[in-house]
Structures are given as structure tokens and as C-alpha cells.
Amino acid sequence: MPNIISQLKALKLHGMAECYAEIQAHNSELIDSVALLLRQLLEAEATDRSIRTIRYQMGSAKFPIHRDFLGFDFGQSMSISR
């Protein structure tokens, strides 16, 4: 599993990373009990930021409508002859 401090720094939560390191140095029993929860929260935050970034980029691209192959009518397309 990735290091919690490096995950905090990757999410630009430097103050939380410093605080976590201080707490870890003083209360190792407390940290061990909440480390799993903290890892799950960090993974959820990283995933959410990634999704929001993609959503923002898709919105700023200003595509007219969402299309996929399921909705495409191949019968109306023109044939190409060589």
C-alpha cells in the first residue's frame, strides 16, 4: 500500500502530512487503528479529483452532444467505394 504521507503530499495536503507525521511519532497505537480508514479516504479523494478533472475537461471541450456507437445509425451512413 502507498505511504499515507506521500498520498497526502500528492493531493497537496502538506499541512495534513506534517501533522500526520507528528501524530505518528507520538501516538503509534492511535495511528495504527485509523490508518486503514485514512487510506480509504485518501483513495476516494484522489479518485474524486480525477473524475472532476475529466468532467471539467470534457465540459471545456464543448462537445455539442454525447454520442456513442450504440446510438449511431449505420444504415444512414454513406458507403465508400474505391
Maximum distance among all Cα pairs of the chain, rounded to whole angstroms: 76
6-45 pLDDT, tens digit each? 988 998 988 988 888 888 888 777 777 788 878 888 888 8
* Residues 1 and 40 sit within 8 Å (Cβ to Cβ): no
pLDDT-derived band at 1 (thresholds 50, 70, 90) equals very low
User: How far lies 19's CA from each of 7, 16, 38, 49, 67, in Å?
Assistant: 14, 5, 13, 22, 47
Would the pLDDT of 79 be above 80? no
| Section 53-81 average pLDDT | 79
pLDDT for the residue 48? 92
* Residues 35 and 1 sit within 8 Å (Cβ to Cβ): no
